[in-house]
A and B are shown apart, each in its own frame.
Chain A
Amino acid sequence: AQSVTQPDIHITVSEGASLELRCNYSYGATPYLFWYVQSPGQGLQLLLKYFSGDTLVQGIKGFEAEFKRSQSSFNLRKPSVHWSDAAEYFCAVGGSLQGAQKLVFGQGTRLTINP
Chain B
Amino acid sequence: DTGVSQNPRHKITKRGQNVTFRCDPISEHNRLYWYRQTLGQGPEFLTYFQNEAQLEKSRLLSDRFSAERPKGSFSTLEIQRTEQGDSAMYLCASSFIVTGADTQYFGPGTRLTVL
Inter-chain CA distance A92–B93, complex, in Å, is: 14
Across the interface, A51 reaches (CB within 8 A) one of B56, B95, B101, namely: B101
Write the B13-55 contact mask toward A (1 if CB under 8 angstroms, else 0): 0000000000000000000010100001111110010000001
Are the C-beta atoms of A94 and B101 separated by less than 8 Å? yes
Inter-chain CA distance A96–B99, complex, in Å, is: 10
Of A42, A103, A106, A107, which is in contact with the most chain B CB atoms at under 10 Å from its CB? Answer: A103
Are the C-beta atoms of B41 and A46 separated by less than 8 Å? no
Residue of B nearest to A102 (CB): B45
Are the C-beta atoms of A43 and B101 separated by less than 8 Å? no
Inter-chain CA distance A77–B63, complex, in Å, is: 42
Please tell me the size bucket of the interface on B.
20 to 34
Residue of A nearest to B4 (CB): A43
Inter-chain CA distance A63–B105, complex, in Å, is: 18
Interface residues of A in 69-115 (CB under 8 A from B): 90, 92, 94-96, 99-108
Are the C-beta atoms of A107 and B97 separated by less than 8 Å? no
Of B4, B56, B106, which is in contact with the most chain A CB atoms at under 10 Å from its CB? Answer: B106
B108 to chain A minimum Cβ distance, whole angstroms, is 4
A93 to chain B minimum Cβ distance, whole angstroms, is 11
Are the C-beta atoms of B43 and A103 separated by less than 8 Å? yes
Across the interface, A108 reaches (CB within 8 A) one of B41, B44, B55, namely: B41
A27 in contact (CB, < 8 A)? no
A89 to chain B minimum Cβ distance, whole angstroms, is 10
Residue of A nearest to B41 (CB): A107
Top-6 shortest CB links A-B: A105-B42, A102-B45, A44-B106, A43-B108, A43-B106, A100-B56
